[in-house]
Amino acid sequence: MSYILSVVLLPELEEETGIQGLYLEQLYTFGRPTRDPRERVIAMAYTR
């Protein structure tokens, strides 16, 4: 399964929080392979 983050982010945020109509801009992506010794973790930071 593959998702485009920008397509699924807002509906998921609305479902979880009830907040609607936000404009979000991606600030940074954290994904260094050694960031978590257990497994590869990727996180994105957004601002509104």
Name the residue ranges covered by the structural domains of the chain: 21-48
| CA 40 from centroid of its chain's CA atoms | 15
Give the pTM. Answer: 0.57
What's residue 46's pLDDT?
87
Residues 1-48 pLDDT 10s: 688 887 888 899 899 999 888 888 889 999 898 888 999 888 889 887
**Which residues is 28 bridged to in the sheet?**
45
Residue in this structure with the two tokens 């920008």, named with its chain if needed? 6
